[in-house]
């Protein structure tokens, strides 16, 4: 394991400090959740490593936490160990020179201290990175706020001064922040351990199971949490739920049914990753999430209602902070620049949040489009399978019909003098009619027309300008709001501010324009999303037609093969009979008897014809000259003719 403690000299040129990130206007209300989780993991491991090696850092602050890219991932590292002190076992330290804003209370009183001073500093850094400001009266110097905060309750993690100058404590993180609901309470509990005023109990004491401070156990529990962030596209509402390690998808869907505004049933739920891939129902959802620490800003699952093709809303709007709501209602009210700075910071955070809300919904629209393209790919595969099987069926039908037509022609030629079977003839004729019927099954051209129309519609959806991100105007408004905030900060830092008070008309103008622009782009987004969902519904409804066509072709193909097999069996059966008849003795006797009868019939016919011929000759003789009578006519006598076969 690489621990995150580096000397500044080795990292200065290739890294930047966390305070530089915190000072960005868009982070004035805290870092994104994924960044907070990364900070907890990296800095927690670094502090634990130092303490296990008996080293107190004593000067932990955002300026001494740097970010360095390693393997494409930003890693936090603790630097500047100039004030770090070796701690012998059981020893206490009494000398310190360090940064006052993040010091533990006991250091101001020059009391002995232990490793728990780093817990206080760590808790202060966590709070500031989460909310954008330090937890206890951040506008005051430490000498001032310690006297007011020392009587705080053991679970108080924040102190602010109201308009009347009265200090108010809280056990909860303030809004706005970017921590999701499941993480809020665990992070607050961790901060309650780290920000205890009593140094002896700070850190929560030893955990009996691990024999380490309880704050490390609480920290590890936070990092081990599996949280799924589901954006309901029907309402634009984000749901964050803790997942069991082996919790099934159906269990998650049942919980989502109770969370969603319209109570979408599990059968109607479609859960898509950003890539357009549906969550696998065979695997626990926790196994489908990306590896590593992911907040709702970097890992979202999109929920669609399959029973609808148009989401009519209403869409859940981002909550407007109370202070921002005040300046929107009281635009012309003059406020001190110091108070206005915090309010405008929250206003900038709100404007940035509106843009990010749109981007997430756009990602949901894109996930729907990618899902549609996956369905289109499946449709193309079905089409190719269908037309391949259609061609195979056509080829087999052509062969079968050609064969049976030849059989029928040959049968007709030989039926009078050869083998005949009316039953076989009828079967062949019926099979020929069936083959003609199967030709219609092989004709799937009508489906191809519908598929081409769907493909064309998908291409148009991809070419639509609404298929691309439309947040340019919102980005411009965000930049203008940030510039206004920077100008206000510059005024506040001026030793002689030109005006001690100012109204919020310019910032409110940015807020209203951003809200109006978001309404417009979301209307276009949901119109385009509805078109995507309609096209997807048509493809889903088209699949059963393709499946039926494929099944019909398979059935027809099997029937053709069965008919062909039956024909072949019939031929072999006839051949078997013919062969057995040629080899039978009784058949030879029958054949000899038939030949004898045929000979006698021929002799009788010859005798009749000869008798008729003799009569004709006698009549002709009477008319001929006497010289004719001198010729030899003995061959005409019946006795001579009849005697010849008798000798045979």
Instruction: Judge if the upstream peptide bond of residue 314 is cis by omega within 30 degrees of 0.
Output: yes
* Range list of β-strands (E), 25-120: 55-56, 65-70, 73-78, 85-86
Report the sign of the C-alpha dihedral through residues 330, 334, 336, 341, in that order.
positive
SS3 assignment, position 333: coil
Beta bridge partners of 240: 229
242 forms beta bridges with: 227
Distance of CA 468 to the CA centre of its chain: 19
Going by C-alpha positions, the residue among 445, 632, 441 that lies closest to residue 552 is 441
Pure H helices in 27-83: 33-52
Q: Is the distance from CB of 438 to CB of 397 less than 8 angstroms? A: yes
Element at 212 (helix H, strand E): strand 212-213
Is 357 part of the annotated catalytic residue set?
Answer: no
Catalytic residue among 59, 118, 357, 407: 59
Is the Cα torsion angle 82, 88, 92, 95 positive or negative in sign? negative
Long-range contacts of residues 592-595, Cβ cutoff 8 Å, at least 24 apart = none
Determine the Cα–Cα distance for residues 487 and 506; give it in Å rounded to an integer: 12
Q: List Cβ neighbours of 376 (8 Å cut-off, separation of 6 or more).
A: 454, 455, 458, 539
Angle at 535 between CA 533 and CA 536, to 5 degrees: 60
Alpha-carbon distance of 118 to 57, in angstroms, equals: 7
Angle at 604 between CA 601 and CA 608, to 5 degrees: 140
C-alpha to C-alpha distance for 176 and 172, rounded to whole angstroms: 12
3-state secondary structure labels for all residues of 120-145: HHHHHHHHHHHHCCCCECCCCCHHHH
Q: Residue 113 carries which DSSP code?
A: B
The helix (H) or strand (E) run that includes residue 86 is strand 85-86
Q: How many CA atoms lie within 13 A of 56 on its CB side?
A: 26
93/115 Cα distance (integer angstroms) = 10
Q: CA–CA separation, 446 vs 573, rounded Å?
A: 43
Closest C-alpha among 95, 51, 360 to residue 235: 360
CA distances from 398 to 258, 392, 409, 439, 441 (A): 59, 10, 17, 9, 14
Positions annotated as catalytic residues are: 59
């Amino acid at each position: 394991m690489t621990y995150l403690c580096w000397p500044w000299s080795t990292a200065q040129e290739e890294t930047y400090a966390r305070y530089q990130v915190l000072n960005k206007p868009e982070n004035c209300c805290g870092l994104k959740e994924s960044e907070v989780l990364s900070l907890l993991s990296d800095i927690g491991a670094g502090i634990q490593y130092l303490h296990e090696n008996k080293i107190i850092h004593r000067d932990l602050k955002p300026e001494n936490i740097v970010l360095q890219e390693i393997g494409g991932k930003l890693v936090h590292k603790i630097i500047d160990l100039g004030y770090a002190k070796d701690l012998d076992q059981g020893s206490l330290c009494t000398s310190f020179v360090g940064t006052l804003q993040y010091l533990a209370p006991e250091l101001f009183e020059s009391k002995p201290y232990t490793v728990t001073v780093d817990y206080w500093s760590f808790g202060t850094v966590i709070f500031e990175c989460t909310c954008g400001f330090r937890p206890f009266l951040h506008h005051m110097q430490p000498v001032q706020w310690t006297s007011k905060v020392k009587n705080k309750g053991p679970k108080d993690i924040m102190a602010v001064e109201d308009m009347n100058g009265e200090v108010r404590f809280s056990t909860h993180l303030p809004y706005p922040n970017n921590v999701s609901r499941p993480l809020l309470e665990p992070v607050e509990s961790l901060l309650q351990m780290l920000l205890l005023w009593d140094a002896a109990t700070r850190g929560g004491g030893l955990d009996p199971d691990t024999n380490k401070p309880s704050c490390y156990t609480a920290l590890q529990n936070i990092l081990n949490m599996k949280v799924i962030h589901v954006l309901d596209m029907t309402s634009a509402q984000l749901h964050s739920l803790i997942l069991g390690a082996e919790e099934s998808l159906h269990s998650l869907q049942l919980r989502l049914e109770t969370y969603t505004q319209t109570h979408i049933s599990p059968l109607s739920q479609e859960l898509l990753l950003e890539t357009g891939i549906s969550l696998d129902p065979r695997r626990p959802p926790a196994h489908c999430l990306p590896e590593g620490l992911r907040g709702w800003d970097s890992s979202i699952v999109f929920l669609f209602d399959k029973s609808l093709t148009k989401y009519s809303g209403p869409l859940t709007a981002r909550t407007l902070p109370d202070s921002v709501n005040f300046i929107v209602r009281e635009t012309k009210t003059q406020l001190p620049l110091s108070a206005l700075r915090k309010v405008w910071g929250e206003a900038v955070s709100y404007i940035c949040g509106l843009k990010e809300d749109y981007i997430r919904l756009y990602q949901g629209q894109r996930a729907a489009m990618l899902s549609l393209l996956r369905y289109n790919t499946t449709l193309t595969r079905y089409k190719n399978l269908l037309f391949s099987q259609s061609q195979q069926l056509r080829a087999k039908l052509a062969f079968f019909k050609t064969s049976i037509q030849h059989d029928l022609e040959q049968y007709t030629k030989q039926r009078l003098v050869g083998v005949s079977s009316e039953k076989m003839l009828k079967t062949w004729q019926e099979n020929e009619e069936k083959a003609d019927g199967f030709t219609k099954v092989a004709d799937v051209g009508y489906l191809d027309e519908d598929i081409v129309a769907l493909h064309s519609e998908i291409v148009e959806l991809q070419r639509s300008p609404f298929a691309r991100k439309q947040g340019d105007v919102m980005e411009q408004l965000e930049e203008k709001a940030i510039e206004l905030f920077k100008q206000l900060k510059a005024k506040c830092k001026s030793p002689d501010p030109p005006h001690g008070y100012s109204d919020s008309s310019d910032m409110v103008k940015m807020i209203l324009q951003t809200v109006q622009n978001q309404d417009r782009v979301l209307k276009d987004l949901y119109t385009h999303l509805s078109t995507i969902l309609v096209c997807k519904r048509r493809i889903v409804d088209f699949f059963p037609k393709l499946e039926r066509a494929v099944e019909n072709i398979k059935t027809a193909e099997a029937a053709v093969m069965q008919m062909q097999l039956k024909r072949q069996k019939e031929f072999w059966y006839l051949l078997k009979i013919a062969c057995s008849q040629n080899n039978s003795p009784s058949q030879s006797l029958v054949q000899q008897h038939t030949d004898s009868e045929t000979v006698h019939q021929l002799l009788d016919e010859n005798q009749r014809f000869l008798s008729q011929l003799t009569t004709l000759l006698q009549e002709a003789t009477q008319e001929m000259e006497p010289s004719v009578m001198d010729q030899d006519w003995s061959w005409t006598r019946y006795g001579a003719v009849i005697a010849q076969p008798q000798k045979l």
